[in-house]
Structure 1
Amino acid sequence: MSQLELRGIRIQLRSQSSPLIELPELTIQQGEIVVLMGPSGSGKSSLLHWLVGDSLPEFDCSGEIRVGGVRVDALPTQARRIGLRMQQPWLFPHLTVRENLQCAQRGTETPAERARQLQACLDAFGIAHLSEQAPDVMSGGQAARVALARAILNQPAVMLLDEPFSSLDTATREEVRAWTFAQLARQGLPTLLVTHDIQDIPEHAQVIYV
């Protein structure tokens, strides 16, 4: 069963004497969403980048990360099985949607199986009609959908969302927000969402303020 467990988490700038974030204990079960809420500069995004294994030379970060009961904080990024959807979609501009998604696929399956998985993803996320388009001709909402599809196609056991709706206009934001939470519920992934906007908090989510 997918589960994210954090123990003794501490995120601190090396230039400061006190931590930005301390999480003594947090468990996110399969299908649950926990929201980490706070102002800009409070260390929320840095926490997510540390969880996926990114190097943060300006920070001292410590604690225990477990995914599905397995400790992963000493493992490389790909081995952690933690997906991250950042503030911007960050799609490769010179590639089509299909090619962007192919970049996220693991290389353990046969070419036929990867093609089947890719088409299933395009269909499930309602973006099959965009498959041959380049990112620069898509709307913000379409790019947001492709970015989430790419993150999930990488088969994570846990999903992290870093202000995923902040770059969208109001009307698109509401639509993409509802669509995103519906997709996460369908996948059953434990999810940690970072935001500073109370409107981004889904119903029944646990909220932690930093």
Structure 2
Amino acid sequence: MSLELENISILKQRSSIFDPVNLVIKPGEITTIMGPSGCGKSTLLSAVSGSLDKVFTLKGSVFLYGRDMANLPMEKRNIGILFQDDLLFPHMDIRGNLAFAIKEKTSRAQKNKIIDTALKTAGLKGFEKRDPSSLSGGQKARISLLRSLLAKPTALLLDEPFSKLDQTLKAKIRAFVFSQIKKMNIPALLVTHDPMDCPEGGVILNLNKEKG
């Protein structure tokens, strides 16, 4: 099963902001959306996630594992989103930030075990009680990804998540993110300006403004 975009157009004042988009992203695959600033890349992600601003009108269909997302609110779609800003809760330690993503019915002992395993996987063992403000940019990026993944999304959207990292750190975090997507076997849609962010062998779609 997959994430499918069928003839997706987004209109503003009755004018489409880009050419219609047709995509099929299989589990474990990452499709990259590229294009100049203002062409509608982030707006497309908003349409998929269910957070499209009311000034826009969505045409076409979004299917996730065969289910039509059209009438589902954002909180019912179970689609994770990773932004360029970490958006960690400053009043919570790292354990609290990660626990927030885990289902409420999970016991405290189970949550702690899940969090400990996740931090070890990310090379952040022992960071449970750390304050978010004490973390480096790369550490925050990994915690943000872990929080997105611990919610067990059925698909993941990435809105230029590496843009604020330096080149050396970017390569490391990018490899970690891509490996986790493959490990979870979920479809992912990545928006970026940097061709180096594109996974090797992955599909790249250049978003073009509709002419006329």
Same fold (TM over 0.5): yes
Give the 5 Å matches for 1:23-42: 23=21, 25-42=22-39
Residue 11 of structure 2 contacts residue 56 of structure 2 at CA under 8 Å; is this kept in 1? yes
Long gaps (5+) in structure 1: none
Give the 5 Å matches for 1:18-167: 18-23=16-21, 25-167=22-164
Residue 27 of structure 2 contacts residue 185 of structure 2 at CA under 8 Å; is this kept in 1? yes
Task: Report the CA distance between 1:204 and its aligned residue.
Answer: 0.7
Aligned residue for 1:156, secondary structure, equals coil
Aligned residue for 2:20, secondary structure, equals strand
Deviation per CA, 1:82-141, whole angstroms, max 9, x where unpaired? 111011111111211111111112224334333332232222222232221111111110
Correspondence for 2:195: 198
Correspondence for 1:7: 6
- Corresponding letter in the other structure for 1:49: S
Paired residue for 2:171, among 157, 171, 174? 174
Query: CA separation of 1:27/1:178 partners in 2, compared to 1, >3 Å: closer, same or farther?
Result: same
Task: Report the CA distance between 1:55 and its aligned residue.
Answer: 4.1
Long gaps (5+) in structure 2: 208-212
Quick one: distance in 2 between partners of 1:61 and 1:105? 31
- Corresponding letter in the other structure for 2:3: L
**After TM superposition, where is structure 1 displaced by more than 4 Å over at least 4 residues in a row?**
none
TM-score (norm 1): 0.91
TM-score (norm 2): 0.90
C-alpha RMSD over aligned residues: 1.6
